[in-house]
Amino acid sequence: MGTVHDFLFAPFIDFGFMQRALFGALLLCLSSCPMGVFLMLRRMSLTGDAMAHAILPGAAVGFLFYGLQIVPMTIGGLIAGVVVALGAGAVSRLTIQKEDASMAAFYLISLALGVLIVSIRGSNVDLMHVLFGTVLALNNDALTLIALICGITLVLLAIFWRALVAECMDPLFLRSVSRLGTPVHFVFLGLVVLNLVGGFQALGTLLSVGLMMLPAAAARFWCSRVGTMCLVATAIGMAASVVGLLLSYHLSLPSGPAIILSAGVAYLLSMIFGTRGVVQDRMRRYRHRTA
């Protein structure tokens, strides 16, 4: 009994940095995992990855002038994310290039520019902090920011829930019966950027999208209703956060990658054993052939 307590509970009871890391990760799951579900249903999963890279130069400019300060890096990341989203959208509408290609071009430029800016001012340690985050070093300011982003996201999701679900299923129908189509799309993109900025504080620009997309992709193998999928994705993200932090503590692993890899294991298990996964699909086909 004592061993189980020491392994599962003692790290979160005895150490304040583990408590803050857990609280921050759970808050991120509450807001970012539902956003991942909507990205997946809109077939915009790689857009989320592109947006995660897009915030880097803005955060890097904040770092260049103020160091590792939360507010300047957050504001810079938000501005850069919005500029890249609008820029990619404008290119796709004003030229022959599709939005996925323009988004890829913008995010590659943003990634290179951000790394260059961080390298000018900081060391390799600073670069690793910006790219991969330090969830075990979350302070009260970072937790306040993440909590604020979580609150804004949940409130706006509740307000625009029906429109968001409708746009996932049939965006043309939503635009034909309501004027909310375009505004909801931009609200959604704003929430994606906001959650990536929140995830950036804990997991860095390269891993923040992992906590958004992997639990959502795993949840798809367990259910088909959007609301249930959001709940399952959030539960998987929270479980992955707890497991990742425990592995990080006991095995001295980097915390961010440990959390994302835990979510990756959950995805693989869901793909194989989920109610809509490989095993169940094969069993249904076998029963259908033998019926």
Number of domains comprising the chain: 1
Residues 6+ apart with CB under 8 A from 9: none
CB 279 within 8 A of CB 272: yes
25 and 241 in contact (C-beta within 8 Å)? yes
- Rounded Cα–Cα distance for residues 182 and 172 (Å): 11
Structure tokens at 34: 């539902």
User: Could you read off the pLDDT tens digit of each residue along the chain, which spans 291 residues?
Assistant: 458 878 888 899 989 999 999 999 999 999 999 999 999 988 877 777 778 777 888 888 887 787 777 788 888 888 888 887 777 767 766 777 776 677 778 778 888 888 888 777 766 666 677 777 778 778 888 899 899 999 999 999 999 998 888 877 776 666 666 666 678 878 888 898 889 888 887 887 768 889 999 999 999 999 989 999 999 999 999 999 999 999 999 998 888 899 999 999 999 999 999 998 898 888 888 887 776
Measured CA to CA, the distance from residue 52 to residue 62 in angstroms comes to 16
Per-residue pLDDT at 291: 64
Predicted local confidence at residue 7, as pLDDT: 84
In degrees, to the nearest 5, what angle opens at C-alpha 265 toward C-alphas 260 and 266? 95
Closest among 63, 78, 60, 33 to 233, alpha carbons compared: 33
Residue 88 domain flag:
yes
Closest by CA position to 260, among listed 117, 59, 60, 52: 52
Domain assignment present for residue 284? The answer is no
- How would DSSP label each residue in 110-124? HHHHHHHHHHHHS-H
- Closest to 185 measured CA to CA, from 74, 111, 108, 99: 99
The domain of 52 spans 2-279
Residue 289 in domain: no
**What sign results for the dihedral spanned by CA atoms 231, 235, 240, 246?**
positive
Classify each residue of 46-75 as buried b or exposed e, where b means 16 or more C-beta atoms within 10 Å of its C-beta: ebbbbbbbbbbbbbbbbbbeeeeebebbbe
How far apart are alpha carbons 189 and 242 in whole angstroms? Answer: 28
What's the CATH code of the domain at 82? 1.10.3470.10
Q: Is residue 273 domain-resident?
A: yes
What pLDDT, on the 0 to 100 scale, is given for residue 72?
84
- 63 assigned to some structural domain: yes
Alpha-carbon distances of 3 from 9, 11, 12, 22, 252, rounded to whole Å: 10, 12, 15, 21, 18
Is there a domain that residue 67 lies in?
yes
Nearest Cα to 21, choosing from 178, 205, 201? Answer: 201
- pLDDT of 175 reads 64
pLDDT of residue 177: 67
**Cβ(167)–Cβ(185) below 8 Å:** yes
Residue in 191, 196, 126 with CA at minimum distance from that of residue 155: 191
